[in-house]
Each structure stands twice: as structure tokens, then as C-alpha cells.
């Protein structure tokens, strides 16, 4: 390819990227507004922008004239992937009856997966009627207008364990989750996210505090995928879970895996250096990098820079922070 042709190709790619950028900041059409179940990642930041997120976006995604053709093509692919439609699907395929001494209740198995592409990392949780009831009560307090027309299956005095009632509630709870997830502010709310993740996180952190790192890690790795899907507009919110995974891998003497998840956590904190996990995570990453023979000097520089900007106060270690999460 001669020089003129190469320049023309680059110019066309730049124009294409500009077109994508323009699309990602355009106000949603009326048709899109009528489809609340659809979550478009590139619109999340516009609907609920944060200064730090915007800085990060501008720093990493803006195309410039120094990009090569290959870099522009890669940029274009990344932009398009970020604008894919993302939607979670809820299924309740089965139930089980649990009996404990004087109590008896039904556990509903909930499968959560992402539509639009093959989802090999589906999440599976179990909740009982009282869990749904508590969620409904909490949402009514905060979102009374949005929940005005949302129906909830009522309690019955008898027949709660008959196949007919259980099947009716399976369908009702499936529709209930689908409906409240379709409401933007509810699906992003802490109360809804806690309903789907908090019981498992409480169990995981309980295992971590008890030194059962293998069991804690198993649960945390199952939860982190669901957390990422539920908190796309707030990536910092999953930092505690990522750091707990780092702690488990480190205590299980898996430094390479610990470092991998530590990098994921740091990438979410590079514009949030005041976060309580930032300094303890840096200290842990320096130790891991030294152990693995990786570059630890750049991490050390970040730590020293942080210390010069902050007052000398007592900071917990990463493990000390982790064991304090979800303490009743």
C-alpha cells in the first residue's frame, strides 16, 4: 500500500471512530426510552456521570492522530463492544423444601445469566419467600412510585408446601425479578444488589474470618461475576470483593493468582486513590510483585506519592480490612 492509500485508510478509520463516539453520547431515542430492560453500557456514564469516571474515559478511550491503523481498529472494536446491549435474565427452574427443627420453608433456585451472547458464567443463588418479602418491603420504602403497580404473591395460611402453590410462586417470583430489574433506578440500587449477593458474601467473609480460605475463595469467585454484571456503572463497588480474593489466594500461597486479582482491583482505583483499600492494596501488591520477580518499583513510587499527599494515620492491612467486611 502506498503512502497516500495508507493515509486515506487512517482518515476513514478516524472518521468512523468519531461517529461511534458521537453515537455513544447521543440522547436515547423515544424507542430506547420505552425499553427499560435494555442496559447499554456506553449510556450508563451519561445517565449517571461521575467526574472520576469521565476522567478515566477521556484518558483511555479518546482516539488521536498518533494512533496507527491497527490501534484505531482495536479502538473501534472496543468502542463497539462497550455499546452492546446487556440484559440479565432470571430463571427459577426448581425448588427444595428445608426443615430445621420447628421451621419449614421453601428455597427457590434462581439462575441469573446474561442474554445476547453465550453466558458460560451463569450465577446460581437460592432465596426463600421471606427474602423476597423483605426485598419488596425495602423497595417500597425507597421507590414507592416505581413500585406502585408491582404485585407481590401474598402469604397463605395453608397449602404453602403444595406443588400448586410452589409452582405459582416460582412463576410469580420470576416475573417479579424481571419487572423490577427493568426499572433503571431499582436495578442499580444497593437494596436490589444486596438481595442478589449479600447472603453469599456474608458466608464467604465468615469463612475468611475463620481461616477457611478455600471455601471463602470458592464463594467469592462465584459472586464476583454477578457483582460485575450488576454494578457496571460503578466498578469501584466490587473492589472489596476483589481484595478479599487477593487475601484468600495469598494465604493459600497462590501469589500469581493473588497478583492477577490485585491488578484488577488497582485498575478500578487508579483515579480513586482516597479509597480505604488503595494503600493496603498497594502494599500487598508490592510484596507479591517482589515475590514473583515482577516490577515493584513503580508500585513503590505510587505508594510513596500517596504517603506524601496524606496525613500520617493508621491504615489497616488488606487482610485486616477484609475481615471487617460484613461483620454483623
Q: Find residue 124's DSSP bridge partners.
A: 111
* Residue ranges of E strands in the chain: 39-40, 85-100, 103-115, 123-128
Query: How many of the other CB atoms lie within 10 Å of CB of 326?
Result: 17
Q: Distance between CA 183 and CA 192 in Å, rounded?
A: 11
The predicted structure's pLDDT at residue 155:
84
Pairing of strands 85-100, 39-40: antiparallel
Walk along the chain (328 residues) and give the pLDDT tens digit of each residue. Answer: 454 544 444 444 444 444 434 333 334 444 344 444 433 333 334 344 444 433 443 434 445 555 566 656 665 555 454 444 458 999 999 999 999 888 899 999 999 988 765 556 789 999 999 999 999 999 999 999 999 999 999 888 777 889 999 999 999 999 999 999 999 999 999 999 999 999 999 999 999 999 999 999 999 999 999 999 899 889 999 999 999 999 999 999 999 999 999 999 999 998 899 999 999 999 999 999 999 999 999 999 999 988 888 766 667 999 999 999 998 6
Q: Where are the domains of the chain?
A: 88-188, 197-324
Closest listed residue to residue 39, CA positions, set 185, 208, 249, 202? 185
Surface-to-core class of residue 312, CB atoms within 10 Å of its CB (0-12 exposed, 13-18 middle, 19+ buried): exposed
Residue 100: the pLDDT is 85
The pTM of the whole model exceeds 0.85: no
Per-residue pLDDT at 121? 73
| Class of domain 88-188 (CATH, top level) | alpha beta
Residue 37: per-residue pLDDT? 40
pLDDT for residue 160? 84
What is 197-324's CATH number?
1.25.40.10
State the Cα–Cα distance between residues 164 and 159, nearest whole angstrom: 9
At residue 53, the pLDDT reads: 39
State the pLDDT at residue 29.
41
- In angstroms, the CA 306 to CA 274 distance is 9
The pLDDT value recorded for residue 183 is 94
pLDDT at res. 157: 74
Amino acid at each position: 500500500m502506498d503512502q497516500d492509500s495508507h493515509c486515506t485508510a487512517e482518515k476513514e478509520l478516524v472518521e468512523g471512530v468519531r461517529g461511534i463516539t458521537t453515537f455513544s453520547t447521543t440522547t436515547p431515542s423515544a424507542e430506547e426510552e420505552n425499553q427499560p430492560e435494555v442496559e447499554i453500557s456506553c449510556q450508563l456514564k451519561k445517565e449517571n456521570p461521575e467526574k472520576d469516571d469521565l476522567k478515566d474515559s477521556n484518558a483511555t478511550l479518546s482516539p488521536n492522530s498518533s494512533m496507527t491503523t491497527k490501534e484505531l481498529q482495536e479502538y473501534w472494536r472496543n468502542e463497539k463492544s462497550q455499546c452492546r446491549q446487556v440484559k440479565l435474565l432470571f430463571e427459577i427452574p426448581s425448588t427444595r423444601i428445608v426443615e430445621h427443627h420447628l421451621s419449614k420453608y421453601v428455597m427457590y433456585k434462581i439462575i441469573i445469566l446474561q442474554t445476547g451472547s453465550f453466558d458460560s458464567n451463569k450465577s446460581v443463588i437460592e432465596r426463600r419467600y421471606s427474602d423476597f418479602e423483605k426485598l419488596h418491603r425495602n423497595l417500597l420504602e425507597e421507590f414507592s412510585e416505581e413500585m406502585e403497580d408491582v404485585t407481590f404473591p401474598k402469604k397463605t395460611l395453608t397449602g404453602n408446601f403444595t406443588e400448586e402453590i410452589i409452582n405459582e410462586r416460582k412463576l410469580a417470583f420470576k416475573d417479579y425479578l424481571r419487572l423490577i430489574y427493568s426499572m433503571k433506578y431499582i436495578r442499580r440500587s444497593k437494596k436490589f444488589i444486596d438481595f442478589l449477593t449479600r447472603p453469599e458474601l456474608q458466608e464467604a467473609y465468615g469463612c475468611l474470618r475463620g481461616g477457611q480460605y478455600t471455601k471463602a475463595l470458592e464463594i467469592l469467585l462465584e459472586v464476583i461475576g454477578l457483582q460485575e454484571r450488576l454494578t457496571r456503572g460503578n466498578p469501584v463497588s466490587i473492589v472489596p470483593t476483589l481484595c478479599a480474593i487477593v487475601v484468600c489466594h495469598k494465604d493459600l500461597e497462590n501469589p500469581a493468582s493473588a497478583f492477577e486479582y490485585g491488578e484488577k482491583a488497582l485498575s478500578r482505583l487508579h483515579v480513586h486513590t482516597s479509597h480505604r483499600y488503595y494503600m493496603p492494596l498497594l502494599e500487598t501488591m508490592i510484596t507479591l510483585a517482589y515475590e514473583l520477580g515482577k516490577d515493584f518499583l513503580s508500585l513503590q513510587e505510587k505508594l510513596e506519592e500517596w504517603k506524601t499527599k496524606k496525613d500520617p494515620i493508621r491504615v489497616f492491612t488488606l487482610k485486616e480490612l477484609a475481615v471487617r467486611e460484613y461483620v454483623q
